[in-house]
Each structure stands twice: as C-alpha cells, then as structure tokens.
Structure 1
C-alpha cells in the first residue's frame, strides 16, 4: 500500500471550513455601473428592478373572440349578442358596451370599459350583425381575460438585487420598459499557468513537456461565471518571475488565479511568491482531487489569490467548489452551497474518512423517475476526458468510507453546453 499524503499527520481544512474561510477574502461586492439593456446578459443587478408600470398595462383579451360585460341578472349568458365594433391589438375603445352588446377582439387588445369576459372565436357562430354562442352554459364570468398588473403591478420589485440576468430576466426588464439597469462591475480575473514543462497549444511539444490545458479551462469557467479575463500566459519555475507577475496582477485585477506550483515539490514557487507579495491564508484542504490549494491576499489592495493545483481535473473541481462562491460575492450574488441532488449509486465507490472526494459521474433517471449514478471510470486527476464524459460530480463527504451499490449519494450536476 502506498503512503498517502493524508497519512502524514498534518491537519488539513475540511471542505466546508475552507469555503467559510475563503468567503472572508472578499469584503464587499464590486462597484456598480449603469449598463444598456442589450449588454446586460450575464450581469448581476446591484439594486432592485422596480416596475414603473402595470404589466400588462391594460386588462386585455387572452383569446381572439368577442368581449362582453357579464349580465348582472343572468346566471347563464344569453346565446346571441349584437356586435357593435372591433378592437384590435394596439387599439382601444373608450365607449362602454350596452346591454346585449359585444365587440370583436383580438388577443392582447384592451377590453372596453365594463367588459369582463371573452369568448373564444371557436365557440362562436357569425351572423349578419350578431354572433351566436355555442354551448353558452360552458362560459364562465371573467374567462380568457388577463388583468392589468396581474404579472407585475406598478411599484413592485420585479427582480431583486443580486439577480444574475439571463434570457428570461432580460425579457422581463424589457417588458417593464427599462432601457438600462444598475449592475455590479464584472470581476477582472488574472490567470496564468506555471511550470517549465508547460507548453502553449500550437507550439512544438518538448520531450518532457505538456500542453497548457488549464488556462483554457479556466478561461471557459470564468466566462461562464460572468468574469472579465486577463490572460497572463505561462510563467517558468522562477521565484522572481512569479513575484513580478503576482505584483503586476495585484495592481490590475480583482482576483488572481494560477494553476500549478503549489505542492511540496522543490520547484514549486507559487506559495513562496505569494508570501513575498501578500499573505498566505491556507494551502491544504482535505479534498480529492485538489488537496494543494493556496489561498491568500495580494498587495496593498488585498486582492484575493487562489493557487489551484496543476492537474486539470483538480483545477475544475476546486474552481467549482471554491472560486465560484468568491466570484458570486464579488458580483453581489448570494453565496450558496453548490446545487445537489440525491442519486442511487450503481457501483461501489471508494473514498476515505476525513476527506471529501469528488468523483466524475453520469446520472440518469430510471423508468420510475429515480436518479441513478455511476462513475466515468478511472478517476486520476490528470484524466481530463473524464470531465468531458461526466454530467455530475459525485460528492462523498468526509464522514463516509465510500458507498456500496444501492446506497444513496449526493451529486452536483454539471451544467454543460449541449
């Protein structure tokens, strides 16, 4: 049996404690700015969006048909109505309807004064100046009508501060007539990879080299989280170069992320450079993959720094567990635990007490709608193809020694492009 770094006796932070400590690296959200509606996708509201109007603005028809005022003396409406006009969408009629009168109306058109019921076109039979209602006993007062303000009344908070604006939210803001909104500035995040062995894609690969996957993985993850990327390239294993890079990044970025160079290897300079430029908070977490993870603050502005592991899967796992909450806090979003579901494992899963394991997995629903999960196979932290194959992370917390087939486990769904 090989010796594990978890057997060396040094205490490492549990995942939950590490999340709590990391949250303290960000004191307040970034400043706000007003941005045009067409450029708001992915941004986070810095203040409540309050509706200046009723939505919809008018009580209107939900169907094509006729609009009428329900007779006060009838339990059931008459079967024939006199047509006295027409109201199309975008028009209005200010004249009230008399007894027994109706108007033809199209979907979305405002109801005339006093009208409160719409009968759909398919239930009507047209005559010269009247319409006959087929099966009038099926008509109910108030049917097929959308009330003014039934979606959002004037003065109501439509979207609270801290909401990230997606397609639905943009449509909602547009429906309120809001052409701009106050949002937090995008976090500027500087990233660079470290290591003499790391080679940029497109460059000849040395005999002992590896292509730099981490920078591009991080770029994609940061884009998904609404950050503004500052790509500083690849740094060699050189302490002074690392110090210069961290000092420069601390002066221009809201957060700095590196990958590689944070283990106990003799050529790992990231931690030493961090201590020269700023302050180290902690650097070991009871997690697999991703145990060596340096966290701290850089420079006089106390810019949050995260030195992620070098293995590509560990980079993704630690980003999702620890970087995402920090980016949320910078953007004024509530800091929440990762979203989780419960699934039945189809196979034995290995873990160890006092360590949280994140296995790449695939979950699915059986014919009864119950969720099942299985691993993607080999779980080495350098097997990036396993992340491509996965649609979730299987979370085995530090209080359990694996899971047997048929047991329930917690999973974190991965939101991937289709």
Structure 2
C-alpha cells in the first residue's frame, strides 16, 4: 500500500494556492519538511538497535554457516562405505571418534571408519554425508551398524549455503525486527549504525487544564491533547516526553521550552495559537523571530505555527487547542516530520485510498476539510465504503475515537453526495486491512 501521496489525498504536493490570506495544506507541509533533516546515525548494540532503522548497508563479513556442520545427531561417514546398506545387510563401520558441537579439530575419516557426531558439530575431513542416528543401532564406540545410506552430502549444512561473505544482507532504511537482528547476530555483527528514535516533547498550555484523574473544578477540563499527541508521537516512532500542563503565563512557558531543549529533537505545543487574549504560545515565541504563526486553509486545525528554537535550531510545532484540530494537525504535519527525522524518504504519510461515501455532508468553502470517517468493506466485492463519524466540531472526541480514517474534501467542494468517490486517509492498520485500492 502506498503511503507517499501526501496528506491530502490530492496526489503530489503543490495543490491549491492561498485562500483569503491562508496558506494551503501543501504549502505549510512543504515548508515544514524543508526544515527537517534526518537525525545523524550512531552505532548501537544489537538489542538496543531493535526497532530502529538501519543507517548503513550491511554486507556479510563471513560465510554462514562458517564451516560444514552436521544437521543431525548421527554418524559422519564416507558415503561409499554405506552404499546399499539396508535392514538385512547393514554396513558395519568402526567408530573412531566422537565430535560434539563446538569441537575445534577433528581427525580425518578413513575407509571403513566413521565418527559419532552431534548436531552443529564440524564435519571431519574425509566424510561426505551424515547418517542420522535413527538409521543405525546407535553404538557409541566400537562398531556401528548402519541400515540406510544417506544421499550425497546428506544432512550436512555446507559452509556459506545460507550467506556468502560479501553478500548484501540488509539495506539502509531496513526496520530491525527480531528476524533482522538474528541475521546480524548470525554474521557476528554486534554493532550497527541506526537512526535514533527522535525525542519529542509534548507541552499542553492552558490554565483551564487539569490532569486526567483529577476532579475538574469549575471551568476546568482534563488535558486531552497531551495524552492524544504523546501516544500519536509514540505510534509514529518517537521517544516521547510529556510535560505537565503549563498555565497561561508566557514567561513560564518560555522557561519550560528552554528547559526541555536539552532532551528534545522536536517540540510540540498545543493551545494558545489563536487570537484570544491569553494565547501565550504566540506571545512567548513571537520575540524569538524563528516561529511563524498563520492560518492554513483546512478544517479542523486552521491556526498553525512552526519554526525552530534554541541554539541547535530544534523544530517546534504549535498546534491548536481543540482536541480534533490538534490531532489532525499532528497527522498532517508533525507525523511526517517525525518520519523524516527517522530517516524515512518515501513513506512519510499515511496511506490514501479511494472509497465510496455512503452519506452526504457539507464542507466549508475555501478550506480543505478532513472529516472523521469509518471505512469498511462494501457488500459488493471490489470496493470499499466510508461513512462520516460524529459531528464536525473540533472539540468532539467521541467521533474521533470511533474513526479509522479522515475523508479529505478539496477546498473548492462544498458538499459530498452519498455514493460519491472520495479520498480517504487511513489512520490505523484496521482501516488498511479493509482497503483494497490504494492510490498510486
């Protein structure tokens, strides 16, 4: 499934121009990504590298297996000595040595001789097959009776049959899961260069906010955004630090941001970016001259801010305070930035598919709407359907929690009719499983 069509469902970035002084979604995203560079790679031990993406091409430094070894417990033989052996006419060989796994040196096998050998042990010189112990009388010394001849090279794992020295193993950008870590261990790599997980700091602003679990007093509400954005950043691959609620105090907010710079690769604030009297994020950051605030032609999430702060020019996103607005802004702008920090090139965005909308709804003129939706397979084979979920209010978390996609409606379209084909941004794996026709 393609994830490279951008966040809008409208194909390549470029899109529509400004609407009444607003910037388009594509323009804002392009400016964001132009300032984001992948984090520099560093070497990690294998277990610590798990879950990260490779920042190097890995070439096999040696063969795997390193040496010819037995695939079975049994007897290393010269196949010519056991040809024709059966139950009535067993081959009788002299057991001249026993070779356990880990043995460093073995004697050569001569005519009429064999070696008792364990799984993984090196095959001795002169032997060209291994007879499983089940085909013998199991003698440990003296002589052994063999009742069946193996195929040529039977039950021998040949040096390099899995991996050859110099063979490309894993390409830069590969996500290191259990199987890839096992392969690296098999070729004796203990350190690999990986892209670190970006450290993302989430800051919720607003004197009205209290921690979930606290009984809200008059005029107070739980901090929805801090938890929504922290978990969304984790899902995007970040290491997340959620700062507690910061009251509407510009100096306190600026001090908090400066304190967090030491551990942040990217900062996200939520709230305080509109035109209210207490929009302290704009007040706190405006003097720095590096963060631009403006309006993006989208619903929800029109007020957006982005820039860099601190001596290391740490990127900072200032998202709106309404929960759905903050989440949609994160999906469209912050998530691609996190993916870029991780070293992704092509798959920055959520997958986009086309679906038949089962219910009509209106859309604001001049703004790209991202309506919450639920995608599901249609009863008729070969198509998928989507229906709007919940209302359009940017405070309505109930519908967002039920949604598994966003329906993208272009700026010039003011209504979606039932039965119309629409572009849909998939938000989770469950939605992706329902879709069968990703856009190219």
Q: TM-score category by the smaller chain?
A: 0.7 to 0.9
Matched, 1:165 2:176: yes
Task: Indicate the residue corresponding to 1:37 in structure 2.
Answer: 46
Query: Shift in Å at residue 296 of structure 1?
Result: 1.3
1:359 to 362, 365, 372: 372
C-alpha separation between the residues in 1 aligned to 2:420 and 2:74? 57
Aligned residue in 1 for 2:405 = 393
Structure 1 residue 307, shift from structure 2 partner: 0.8
- C-alpha deviations, 1:211-252, integer Å up to 9, x for none? 002212233233344534443322223344434434444465
Secondary structure, aligned partner of 2:335: helix
Deviates more, 1:144-153 or 1:205-214: 144-153
Do 2:261 and 2:310's aligned partners in 1 also have CA atoms closer than 8 Å? Answer: yes
2:306 is aligned, of 282, 295, 300, to 295
- Give yes or no for the alignment of 1:191 onto 2:202: yes
Structure 2 Cα separation of the partners of residues 109 and 346 of structure 1: 63
CA RMSD of aligned residues (A): 4.4
SS at match of 2:308: strand
Shift of 1:402: 4.0
Is 2:291 aligned against 1:280?
Answer: yes
Taking a change above 3 Å as real, the CA distance of residues 367 and 382 of structure 1, as seen in their structure-2 partners, is same
Q: CA deviation at 1:306?
A: 0.3
Per the alignment, residue 414 of structure 1 pairs with: 428
Query: Is 1:326 paired with 2:337?
Result: yes
Q: Which runs of 5+ in 2 are unaligned?
A: 1-16, 431-440
Please tell me whether the aligned partners of residues 351 and 396 of structure 1 are also in contact (alpha carbons under 8 angstroms).
no
Query: Structure 1 residues 412 and 117, CA, compared in 2 at 3 Å: closer, same or farther?
Result: farther
Give 2:225's aligned residue.
214
- Which one is further off, 43-52 or 80-89? 80-89
1:145 positional shift: 5.8
For residues 242-272 of structure 1, the C-alpha deviation after alignment (integer angstroms, 9 at most, x for no partner) is 3443444446532211012223434323234
Is 1:19 matched with 2:29?
yes
Structure 1 unaligned regions, length at least 5: 1-5, 72-76
Q: Distance in 1 between matches of 2:225 and 2:208?
A: 13
SS at match of 1:29: coil
Does residue 55 in structure 1 map to residue 67 in structure 2? no
Task: Tell me, in whole angstroms, the C-alpha distance in 2 between the residues paired with 1:202 and 1:344.
Answer: 39
Q: Deviations over 1:92-147 (max 9, x none)?
A: 8855667898877665555555766678788x5869944445xx9xx976676654
Q: CA–CA distance in 2 between the matches of 1:50 and 1:132? A: 44
Counterpart for residue 149 of structure 1: 160
Residue-pair matches, total: 399
The alpha-carbon distance between structure 1 residues 121 and 47, as it changes in their structure 2 partners (threshold 3 A), is same
Contact 1:351 1:357 in 2 (8 A): no
What secondary structure sits across from 2:290 in the alignment? strand
Q: In the aligned structure 2, how far is the partner of 1:65 from the partner of 1:209? A: 75
TM-score normalized by structure 1?
0.74
